[in-house]
Structure 1
Amino acid sequence: MLTPSTLLRASYNAGRKFFQPPVEARISAAPAAPHPQPVMVPIRSMGPSHGERIARHLLALSEHDRYLRFGYAANDEQIRRYVDGLNFDRDEIFGIYNRKLALIAMAHLAHSTDPNLTSCAEFGVSVLAQARGRGYGARLFDRAVMHARNDGVDMMFIHALSENTAMLNIARKAGATIERDGSESEAYLKLPPADLDSRMTEMLEERIAQTDYRLKVQAKQFWDLLTIVQEVRQGVRDGRDRMPM
């Protein structure tokens, strides 16, 4: 588990980059180099106000990715119904945002509605294609495990298609027991009880993630305003150039 000093140092180093000019992605035919995994990935819990961003994230998934995430090739209408049905009071939704405030990865920790299984929760995750290879799925899983422990959950499970090897590997590395039944698999992970370390770490990580998000909002507003100013200046220059001498 990350120490508070490591989290604070990583947050500071990341914050210094927010107001640097954004670099546009370059298209290259060569294979992309693997992304180095950062010390800390700010993961924030999300509420109802993030519903539209959640919908845009899920709608951006390919047909195959939707199939892996939901167990069927969910169409746009079904995804909208899923988002509208999210219970932010009962469940926990976690997200990772990029500098442009696009939700590039998210997880849903759904608490059991069965009165006999109140200490169980189900985990589901999705990562946009352009953000893969950075360990975001595993980071979201670790975040969900910590929150589940602190919320009194002692068993977390994942229902996934057997071909969803990425998700099952994350569960396996965490020590989950995996049972395969044809095209579907169930992963069960017994969670230890919460302790002072888990509670303090979650509180600190959430504070840092909230600060990270606010900085990204401010940075985006700054660069959007600068873009508008540059466009106005360019328009003035073009107008002067067209004026008759």
Structure 2
Amino acid sequence: MKPPSPESPAATDADAAAPTWAPVAALQRRLAAWVPIRSLARRHRRRIAEHLLSLSERDRYLRFGYPATDEQITRYAMNLDFERDEVLGIFNRRLQLLAMAHLAYAPAPQLPGKPAMAEFGVSVLQRGRGRGFGARLFERAALHARNRGIDTLFIHALSENAPMLKIARNAGATVERDGSESEAWLRLPPDTVSSHVGEAIERHMAEMDFQFKRHVRVLGSIIDGVAEVKSQYEESSGKAARQ
């Protein structure tokens, strides 16, 4: 049996279906891999402090470059400049901050003759690892910096911080090692209309996700409260009946 010619109805239908389903499939794959990353503000200081204080001694050392104490971490969280910098977070269904990134903008170029840079730092709780949260936060931070005219994304990390340096290398950053410390530099492309629209959509979707989780949590608390009152009523009714 001869295959259908390009002019045959079968070939025409298949060709017409391909461009229709391909974008849908691509969108489904993107949504399945999407991670809601929310911009954090002053009202999230307590959650940020709780997240950082939950880090182990080893993780604190890798994140800050020294064994930060509870007092130092609390001071860091309380002194975050949300007007100048961008702080990003990933929440679970219980609205616990699993991962966060701090994109610090310098008011002036750090090096003479160099364009202004933004420094990136990230932390992920133990139970949130293995899901690529660090890499996703890095991508979102790079987009934010790019859309604000920043030329270079900078990372200063301990050389033993292999996960952080791997994220930088995978993104195409140049990593320079100087003894126990390393520096990574990622040149960012110029911003475009598409990059601005993409960031706006990400921000809107993440806000919707957060509000949905918040409403579900409130509804769950109400249901638990009603169930507890009902249980107490039934228990007291049973005691009265036995008497």
TM-score by length of 2: 0.84
Question: Which of structure 1's runs of 4+ aligned residues deviate more than 6 A?
Answer: none
Partner residue of 1:177? Answer: 174
1:6 is the counterpart of 2:27: yes
**CA apart distance, 1:185:** 0.5
Q: Cα gap change, 1:116/1:172 in structure 2, threshold over 3 Å: closer, same or farther?
A: closer
Q: Which residue of 1 aligns with 2:69?
A: 75
Distance in 2 (alpha carbons) for counterparts of 1:76 and 1:109: 22
Q: 1:130 to 1:188 in 2, by over 3 A?
A: same
Structure 1 counterpart of 2:7:
none
1:201 deviates by: 0.5
Which residue matches 1:100? Answer: 94
**What SS does structure 2 have at the residue aligned with 1:156?**
strand
Shift of residue 7, structure 1, vs aligned partner: 8.3
**Which ranges in structure 2 are unaligned for 5 or more consecutive residues?**
1-22
Within the candidate set 76, 79, 88, 2:82 is matched to 88
Write out per-residue CA displacement over residues 145-183 of structure 1, whole angstroms, 9 at most, x where no aligned residue.
000000110101100011110000000001100011111
In structure 2, C-alpha distance between the alignment counterparts of 1:9 and 1:53, rounded to whole Å: 28
Larger Rg: 2
Asked if 1:201 corresponds to 2:198, the answer is yes
Task: Tell me, in whole angstroms, the C-alpha distance in 1 between the residues paired with 2:192 and 2:65.
Answer: 35
Distance in 1 separating the partners of 2:237 and 2:160: 62
What secondary structure does 2:60 align onto? helix
What secondary structure sits across from 1:96 in the alignment?
strand
Q: Does 1:61 align with 2:62?
A: no
The residue correspondences of 1:98-137 to structure 2 (distance < 5 A) are 98-115=92-109, 119-137=116-134
CA displacement at 1:115 relative to structure 2: 4.9
Residues 86-141 of structure 1 show CA distances to partners (whole Å, capped at 9, x for unaligned) of 00000000000111110110000001133566620000000010010000000000
8 A contact 2:109–2:117 mirrored in 1: no
Aligned-residue sequence identity (percent) comes to: 53
1 or 2 for the larger relative contact order (CA 8 Å, sep ≥6)?
1
Give, as a single letter, the amino acid of the residue that structure 1 aligns with 2:139.
D
Take 2:67 and 2:238, find their aligned partners in 1: how far apart are those partners? 54
The residue aligned with 1:139 is 136
Segments of structure 1 that go 5 or more residues without pairing to the other structure are: 11-37
Tell me the number of residue pairs that the alignment of Structure 1 and Structure 2 aligns.
216
Equivalent position to 1:39, from 14, 33, 39? 33
Secondary structure at the aligned position of 2:184 is classed as: strand
1:224 is aligned to 221
Which has more helix, going by share of residues? 2
Q: Is the 8 A contact 1:153 1:191 kept in 2?
A: yes
